[in-house]
Amino acid sequence: MKSNLILSSAVFALALSACGEKSEVAAPADPRVEAIFVAAEPAGAISVIEARKNPAPGTGITVIGRVAGAMEPFSKDFATLVLADDTVMTCERNPGDSCPTPWDACCVDPKVLSASRLSVQVNGADGRPIDATLKGVKGLKELDQIVIQGKVAPGSNAENLIVEATGIFRKS
């Protein structure tokens, strides 16, 4: 009886200590998504803003930026992310700002933000985005600076640029 009381107290104390904390157990990364990450930084990367100037569907492109520009820059269901230009003033760059989601760039004018980001997708053999998230793969997280190598997706234009990634290099 006494040992049950001690055990119950210990379980209760452990439960209380976890209150308010998010506890997510990361699922193993999908090998199709892990395979897209490269060990060496691709050369010749241009900024997101530069990439948006004249995107030609089907052409090769290498772009540098940060995972940012949206409240949730990673899709939970597909291998896609939002890449923002390095010049976007995300909240952690503002001294004293304690925004819990600095990557959303909520202080940036929406028109400026819209013109400073693009979408990245990792496609499977069927030409559609892989049904696994990029978040957490090889440590990838919000605000990381990355270099994307790939091609401009069909239907892309200066207002809506989508890059089909063939390589992702995580700088930070």
| CATH code, domain carrying 115 | 2.40.50.200
The reported pLDDT for the residue numbered 10 is 35
Share of the chain above pLDDT 70, in %: 84
Number of domains in the chain: 1
Q: pTM of this prediction?
A: 0.82
Q: Is residue 9 part of a domain?
A: no
DSSP H or E segment with residue 17: helix 2-17
172, pLDDT greater than 90: no
pLDDT confidence band for 26 (50 / 70 / 90): low
2, pLDDT greater than 60: no
CA max distance for the chain: 75
Q: Is residue 141 part of a domain?
A: yes
What DSSP assignment string belongs to 116-150? TEEEEE-B-TTSSB-SS--TTGGG--TT-EEEEEE
Give the range of the structural domain holding residue 78, as residue numbers without chain letter: 31-170
